[in-house]
Amino acid sequence: MVLQFAQKLAFAALVLGAASTAQAQQTSSNQVATKTAWAVFEDANPKECWAVSAPKETVNTKDGRVVSVKRSDILLMAFYRPGKLSGGQLAFTGGYSFAGGSTVNLNIGGTSFELFTEGEWAWAASTAEDAKIITALKRGASAVMTARSARGTKTQDTFSLSGFTAAVEDAEKRCK
């Protein structure tokens, strides 16, 4: 499931990265909606739906100094699958391998959540935690993800939550 999940995110990143052109939007067969800063995708086999966004701001630091680093796609998403992930699962990819044993801090309007990491991915520890985070994201204006790479770079990615509620409700409805 992790590989399939990663492939879906990579495709979503490709579409989001090219979303500024109408031609790119027309070539995507599974993007079904755009809700301000968020895109909604739906796949039929297996049935899966997700809302995804790229950060509006990224800051990378090492030893207290801002540094330029090469990262692949940076995405925050809520993922739904009928019967299995109907309540939604939050996932984050930072575009690099996270430091072993590290966590990602998610801050939404002063409320913090810790996500566990595996490779380039981070998730909540339980479906109950996913539900709490998704509720907080619906109420927030922005989400700040702070993490540490395997090379020791501290990253801070800020996501707009404009359109998040509409996007996740659309994704969830499509996958009921």
8-26 pLDDT per residue, tens = 444 444 334 433 322 233 3
pLDDT, residue 29, reads 59
CATH number at residue 130: 2.60.40.1880
Percent of the chain clearing pLDDT 90 (strictly above):
69
pLDDT, residue 86, reads 58
- For 104-132, what is the mean pLDDT? 96
Residues 114, 122: Cα–Cα separation, whole Å: 9
Domain extent for 106: 2-174
- For 58-64, what is the mean pLDDT? 95
Residues 36, 164: Cα–Cα separation, whole Å: 8
- H/E stretch holding 141: none
pLDDT, residue 85, reads 55
Report whether pLDDT(1) > 80. no
pLDDT, residue 34, reads 85
pLDDT, residue 110, reads 96
70 pLDDT band (50/70/90 cuts)? very high
Other C-beta atoms lying within 10 Å of the C-beta of residue 156: 16
What one-character DSSP code corresponds to residue 99? P
pLDDT digits (tens, 9 = 90+) for 130-148: 999 999 999 999 999 999 9
33 pLDDT band (50/70/90 cuts)? confident
- H/E stretch holding 22: helix 22-27
Nearest C-alpha neighbor of 173 from the set 86, 65, 59: 86
Which has the minimum average pLDDT: 28-37, 46-55, 137-146?
28-37
Q: How many domains in the chain?
A: 1
Percent of the chain clearing pLDDT 70 (strictly above):
82
